[in-house]
């Protein structure tokens, strides 16, 4: 067993001081409206960069550019080859609503904030200056297109120049059916977990979104103001609905199951869940394992949806080039969290296993030579300060992340000593080579824990937390998590 080295041992005082430094009390923010661009604090005020902020729901880093050739993602791969691919980027909470609220505010989820899919910035962090609001207050046109926040009406007035736009607005019927967006007639009153339909890309929400974004880019190219455009794609979120041509890219029989599809050895019961999101769909048993046939079809559907979204991203980036906007547009592509495709016997997100906490992050900066992979640890709460710094704007005092722009100047530099996340009553920590999760009761008492050596056990199959030789390290990590829980 690999012994712990000094490089792996995280100092609690160091961690606490670094986070306290970036964590000020939330103060009410005075909305100052759209300042003229000449009054912006940007050092790039003569030619401020545009921002294209692309979110992809439930996208795991199973892409060609991440060394996973089984997924066909040529457009994302091309963007990564031109920019910076972060190999170790982690979400701060593995559920869409809370993750997005955290990213756009620059605030960490804590025991009282950003806890679930239905998290609202307006309720959990009222008055905080969001990422798009900061750009709006510095003369930018700010636009929300598609699923940017889980609840599109959240933070709708102060952050965006126009009311958020969602392709669901174009579809008739109940809210639930709008979200599911089935195209086959036999699914009118059904809820299957996937759909293969011989339709155009624009039949589904994400294709409609792409068309709208392309039209909006044309209008923005004619204007003189810089823009911050957030674009949120829904797929590959369940149900796995995609045009047939993307299903046809893959031979279902040739698809491989994950290496590890059983409950990990010595893992605490708290780490397991019933994959409840999947259980709501027709043909999925209410509990227990699903059939190999269904598992293979779901993997096929996830791959098809990923390639469908890759094509939409390609269309948008190509339009940027056609309009000659790309030469002054920073592009950030991110998945809001990871997703399990049967690993550990789990489906969906909602866990602190690496497969759910780790997500893709690609940053293209036209002024920097790209084509680099960044191995240093970063977390999604770092996106806000990084974009502000890249744009030369003044960072607000409430931010709890740390800019990763130094990694763009030197991709070989070290990232953070540790990154943090949480899910329900568990707290997660990723250090150099290890992942650690601890479950706490309401009064803060430790209930369970798990530790994995990611160098030797990348699939997280053998929990080391209770082994005698690791107790000193576990104690240090536990103390660090308890300090993080105290930060508001």
Q: Give, to the nearest 10 degrees, the angle between helix 205-222 and helix 292-322.
A: 10
Nearest to 393 by CA among 28, 38, 20, 45: 45
| Catalytic residue from among 22, 65, 91, 96 | 96
CB 359 within 8 A of CB 61: yes
Taking the alpha carbons at both ends of the chain, their separation in whole angstroms is 37
Is residue 96 among the annotated active site residues? yes
Tell me how far apart the alpha carbons of residues 247 and 256 are, in angstroms, rounded to a whole number.
15
Is residue 350 among the annotated active site residues? no
CB 351 within 8 A of CB 341: no
Burial 364-376, CB ≥16 within 10 A → b, else e:
bbbeeebebebeb
Helix (H, G, I), strand (E, B) or coil at 378: strand
Tell me how far apart the alpha carbons of residues 304 and 59 are, in angstroms, rounded to a whole number.
12
CA distances from 267 to 356, 398, 430, 454, 464 (A): 16, 37, 17, 15, 9
**In the block, which residue shows the tokens 């098809």?**
304
DSSP 48: P
Tell me how far apart the alpha carbons of residues 22 and 401 are, in angstroms, rounded to a whole number.
7
Kindly provide the residue ranges of all beta strands, DSSP E only, lying in 63-222, ordered along the sequence: 84-86, 89-90, 141-146, 194-197
Q: What φ, ψ does residue 7 adopt, rounded to 5°?
A: -65, -30
The token duo for 69 is: 């050739």
Q: What φ, ψ does residue 428 adopt, rounded to 5°?
A: -120, 145
| Catalytic residue from among 22, 150, 237, 337 | 150
Q: List residues with catalytic annotation.
A: 96, 150
């Amino acid at each position: 067993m690999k012994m712990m080295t000094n490089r792996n041992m995280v100092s609690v005082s160091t961690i606490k001081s670094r986070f306290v430094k970036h964590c000020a009390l939330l103060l009410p923010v005075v909305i100052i409206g759209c300042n003229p661009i000449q009054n912006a604090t940007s050092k790039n005020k003569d030619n401020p960069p545009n921002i294209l902020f692309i979110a992809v729901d439930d996208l795991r880093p199973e892409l060609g550019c991440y060394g996973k050739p089984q997924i066909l993602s040529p457009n994302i791969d091309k963007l990564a080859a031109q920019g910076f691919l972060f190999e170790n980027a982690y979400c701060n909470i593995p559920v869409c609503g809370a993750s997005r609220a955290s990213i756009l505010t620059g605030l960490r989820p804590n025991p009282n904030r950003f806890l679930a899919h239905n998290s609202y910035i307006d309720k959990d962090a009222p008055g905080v200056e969001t990422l798009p609001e900061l750009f709006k207050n510095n003369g930018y046109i700010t636009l929300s297109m598609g699923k940017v926040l889980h609840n599109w009406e959240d933070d709708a007035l102060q952050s965006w120049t126009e009311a958020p736009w969602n392709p669901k607005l174009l579809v008739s019927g109940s809210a639930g059916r709008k979200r599911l967006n089935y195209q086959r007639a036999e699914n009118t009153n059904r809820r299957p977990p996937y759909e293969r339909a011989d339709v155009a890309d624009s039949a589904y929400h994400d294709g409609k979104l792409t068309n709208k974004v392309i039209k909006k880019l044309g209008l923005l190219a004619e204007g003189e103001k810089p823009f911050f455009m957030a674009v949120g794609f829904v797929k590959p979120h369940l149900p796995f609905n995609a045009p047939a041509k993307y299903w046809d890219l893959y031979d279902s029989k040739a698809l491989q199951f994950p290496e590890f599809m059983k409950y990990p050895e010595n893992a605490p019961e708290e780490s397991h869940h019933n994959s409840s999101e999947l259980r709501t769909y027709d043909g999925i048993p209410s509990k227990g394992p699903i059939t190999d046939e269904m598992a293979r079809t779901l993997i096929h559907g996830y791959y098809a949806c990923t390639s469908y979204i890759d094509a939409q991203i390609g269309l948008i980036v190509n339009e940027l080039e056609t309009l000659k906007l790309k030469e002054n547009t920073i592009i950030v592509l991110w998945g809001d969290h990871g997703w399990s495709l049967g690993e550990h016997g789990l489906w969906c997100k909602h866990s602190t296993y690496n497969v759910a906490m780790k997500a893709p992050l690609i940053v293209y900066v036209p002024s920097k030579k790209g084509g680099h992979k960044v191995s240093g640890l970063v977390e999604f709460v770092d996106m806000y300060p990084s974009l502000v710094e890249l744009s030369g704007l003044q960072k607000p005092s409430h931010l709890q992340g740390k800019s990763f722009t130094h990694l763009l100047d030197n991709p070989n530099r070290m990232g953070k000593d540790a990154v943090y996340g949480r899910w329900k009553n568990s707290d997660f920590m990723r250090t150099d080579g290890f992942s650690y999760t601890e479950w706490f009761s309401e009064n803060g008492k430790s209930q369970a824990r798990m530790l994995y050596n990611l160098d030797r056990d990348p699939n997280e199959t053998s929990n080391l937390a209770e082994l005698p030789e690791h107790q000193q390290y576990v104690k240090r990590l536990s103390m660090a998590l308890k300090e993080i829980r105290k930060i508001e």
